[in-house]
Structure 1
Amino acid sequence: MKKLQSPRFELGESITREQKAFFDKYGIIVFPNFIKRETVNLFLSENARIEKEWLAEGRDKVNGVPLKFGRDEAGNKVIQRSCFLSHYSQALHEFLQDPRLQAVVDLLQPYEGRIGENEKDGFVLNNYVRTANSQYSQMGWHTDSPRDIFLGQRIMPMLNVGLHLDDCPMENGGLRVLPGTHKQSTFRMLFAKKYFVDNNPDPREVGLDIQAGDLTVHDGRIWHRVQQSPHFGEASRRRVMYVPVVTGKYKPKNESSKTPFYHRFIQKVNI
Structure 2
Amino acid sequence: MLLPADYPRFTLSRAGLTPEQVAFFRQHGFLHFRSFSSPEEVQALLRAVAALEQQWRAAGRRKVSGVPLKYGRDVDGQPLIQRLAFTAQHSPVLGALLQDARLPALFELLGGPGGRIGADEKDGLVAGHYLHAPGSTFSQMGWHTDALRDVFYGRRPGPLLNVGLHLDACPARCGGLRVLPGTHRQSRWQLLTRKLYFLNTRPDPAELPIETEPGDLTVHDGRMWHRVARAQVSGAASRRRVLYVPVLSGPYRPKHAGSPTPLYLRFLDWLR
Report deviation, 1:4.
5.8
Q: Which residue of 1 aligns with 2:189?
A: 187
CA RMSD of aligned residues (A): 1.3
Q: Which residue of 1 aligns with 2:252?
A: 250
Picking from 215, 219, 238, the partner of 1:217 is 219
Amino acid at match of 1:190: L
Question: Does structure 1 conserve the Cα–Cα contact (< 8 Å) formed by 2:111 and 2:159?
Answer: no
Report deviation, 1:2.
3.4
Is 1:100 matched up with 2:102? yes
Q: Which residue of 2 aligns with 1:132?
A: 134
Distance 1:40 1:161 in 2: 16
Q: Which residue of 1 aligns with 2:6?
A: 5
Question: Does structure 1 conserve the Cα–Cα contact (< 8 Å) formed by 2:173 and 2:233?
Answer: no
SS at match of 1:78: strand
Length-normalised TM-score, structure 2: 0.96
Q: Which residue of 2 aligns with 1:148?
A: 150
Range with bigger deviation, 254-263 or 51-60: 254-263
Report deviation, 1:139.
0.8
Report deviation, 1:233.
1.2
1:174-204: per-residue Cα shift (whole Å, max 9, x none)? 1111000000000001001000011111111
Question: Does structure 2 conserve the Cα–Cα contact (< 8 Å) formed by 1:142 and 1:195?
Answer: yes
Distance 2:201 2:74 in 1: 23
Q: Which residue of 2 aligns with 1:78?
A: 80
Report deviation, 1:105.
1.4
Report deviation, 1:270.
3.4
The runs of 5 or more residues in structure 1 that have no matched partner are none
1:60-112: per-residue Cα shift (whole Å, max 9, x none)? 01001001111112211101100111111112111111111111111112242
CA distance change for structure 1 residues 81 and 4 in 2, over 3 Å: closer, same or farther? farther
Picking from 32, 42, 45, the partner of 1:43 is 45
Report deviation, 1:144.
0.5
Range with bigger deviation, 144-153 or 177-186: 144-153
What does residue range 108-127 of structure 1 map to in structure 2 within 5 Å? Answer: 108-127=110-129
Range with bigger deviation, 134-143 or 91-100: 91-100
Paired residues, number: 270
Distance 2:185 2:159 in 1: 11
Question: Does structure 2 conserve the Cα–Cα contact (< 8 Å) formed by 1:139 and 1:226?
Answer: yes
Question: Does structure 2 conserve the Cα–Cα contact (< 8 Å) formed by 1:3 and 1:170?
Answer: no
Distance 2:23 2:124 in 1: 28
Q: Which residue of 2 aligns with 1:207?
A: 209
What does residue range 29-68 of structure 1 map to in structure 2 within 5 Å? Answer: 29-68=31-70
Q: Which residue of 2 aligns with 1:267?
A: 268
Question: Does structure 2 conserve the Cα–Cα contact (< 8 Å) formed by 1:114 and 1:245?
Answer: yes
Report deviation, 1:7.
2.1
Distance 1:186 1:111 in 2: 23
Q: Which residue of 1 aligns with 2:168?
A: 166
Question: Does structure 2 conserve the Cα–Cα contact (< 8 Å) formed by 1:166 and 1:212?
Answer: yes
SS at match of 2:105: helix
Q: Percent identity?
A: 50
Question: Does structure 1 conserve the Cα–Cα contact (< 8 Å) formed by 2:169 and 2:213?
Answer: yes
Range with bigger deviation, 169-178 or 185-194: 169-178
Amino acid at match of 1:40: V
Picking from 9, 16, 19, the partner of 1:17 is 19
Question: Does structure 1 conserve the Cα–Cα contact (< 8 Å) formed by 2:84 and 2:126?
Answer: yes
Amino acid at match of 2:270: V
Amino acid at match of 2:77: G
